[in-house]
Amino acid sequence: MRAAEEEENRRGSCGLLLEKYELGKLVGCGAFAKVYHARDTRTGQSVAIKAVSKQRLVKGGLNALVKREIAILHRLRHPHIVRLFEVLATKTKIYFVMEFAKGGELFAKVSKGRFSEDLSHRYFQQLICAVGYCHSRGVFHRDLKPENLLLDEKLDLKVSDFGLSAVNDQIRPDGLLHTLCGTPAYVAPEILAKKGYDGAKADVWSCGVVLFVLNAGYLPFNDPNLMVMYRKIYKGEFRVPKWTSPELRRLLIRLLDTNPETRITVDEIIKDPWFKKGYDEKMSRFHHEEFDLKLPESEERGTRRLNAFDIISGSPGFNLSGLFREESKMERFVSAEAREKVVEKLEEVAKAENLTVTKEGEWGMKLEGQKCNFAMVVEIYRLTDELVMIEARKGERGGVSGRDLWTDTIRPCLIQLSHKPAATVSGCSSVGAT
């Protein structure tokens, strides 16, 4: 595995990534990922590519975090949230192709000295706008801090790093989240209490810490001894700098209220006198259709175009199946054949094997036979102008003969129909059969 990764690194550094992106300089490095500036060779657009080692993910037990980050970024589209364009993979790495934030981390700016109240006000408005949007989509970030807030070329704020985010389906029957996570200096006191917490209220606390840091240039709760720092957080022991205006002081006290029940909410923040000065009401339209990622109702399944999230385990070039889903009886194949040709070939196989074919919608079909021992459903989706996705699901029935029919006849037929492009510089194809 290490040799394959070293070879991939060597080839990727002197060529194109999956025939699409020209890698540039390294702009960030963490324990499990490296971030590169890159250029989309098709459009010339600058992008950021986060490269994650599959081997390190498996060893670190972080598969679920990566899967969650992909799922969350898929559902978010907002001017103050870093956009994820697509997810790619090679034999050894997963690549997040993301919006490039030219201005770098907000942390790098504030570490040089505190911001003016006006500048703090501007960034806090943008932060709350993004956080409110996330909450309206059932997403709770849980790790908001200046290191995860980036700046674009206009120096506008972009929220990033959703690896620790939670979604509504993680809430337990008591209505609360229970996972302990976040960065110590920014974590809410109710998280430390380990009794469950409201993700939205915990995010508001972290926003309060961020605002304090922007205005003061230092943390409200800090101590070399972690337990002492936690005690300060739990008791809400902090001092607002003397240069803080009375309006901002009142807001900070409400943001850093240790009681989540009385802590200010996002809706209340937007109505706060200090916050709403110069605030564009359009920013608070979290449900504005411009930011939604809904499929038009007029698009039928057969004509809909799939994206990287739909085909996340669809082929060697996007082969994330080992990481992102349990073993199942479904396989996907990418083909350059017309959908009519795919249907025709499968009907020929079905006829030769005495299988009954039942149409399922416009581009779906069910194959049954062998004395009810074999059953499968095939659906065909439009992927691009040239490619289609064939999704085959085997039923629960089936003796030995059923399994042999799939392995010996139908699967080889689908592999024959699969698209086989030239290898890339990283030594793996970008589409094919899984």
Q: Are 23 and 50 a contacting pair, CB within 8 Å?
A: no
The DSSP code for 358 is: E
Q: Are 84 and 70 a contacting pair, CB within 8 Å?
A: yes
Question: Tokens in use for 346?
Answer: 């499968």
User: How far is it, in rounded angstroms, from Cα 20 to Cα 34?
Assistant: 18
Residues whose CB falls within 8 Å of the CB of residue 372, separated by 6 or more in sequence, listed in order: 397
User: How far is it, in rounded angstroms, from Cα 126 to Cα 135?
Assistant: 14
User: How many Cβ atoms from other residues are within 10 Å of residue 329's Cβ?
Assistant: 12
Question: Tokens in use for 129?
Answer: 């706008």
Render 110-143 in DSSP notation, one character per residue: HTTSPPPHHHHHHHHHHHHHHHHHHHHTTEE-S-
Render 370-429 in DSSP notation, one character per residue: TTTTEEEEEEEEE-SSS-EEEEEEE-S---HHHHHHIIIIIHHHHHHHB--PPP-TTSS-
User: How far is it, in rounded angstroms, from Cα 132 to Cα 270?
Assistant: 10
Catalytic residue among 40, 143, 169, 257: 143
143 is catalytic: yes
User: How far is it, in rounded angstroms, from Cα 268 to Cα 247?
Assistant: 14
Question: Tokens in use for 123?
Answer: 């960034």
Phi-psi region of 375 (alpha: psi -120 to 50; beta: other; left: phi over 0): beta
Where b means 16+ CB within 10 Å and e means fewer, 77-90 reads ebbbbbebbbbbbb
- The type of residue at 204 is V
Catalytic residue set: 143
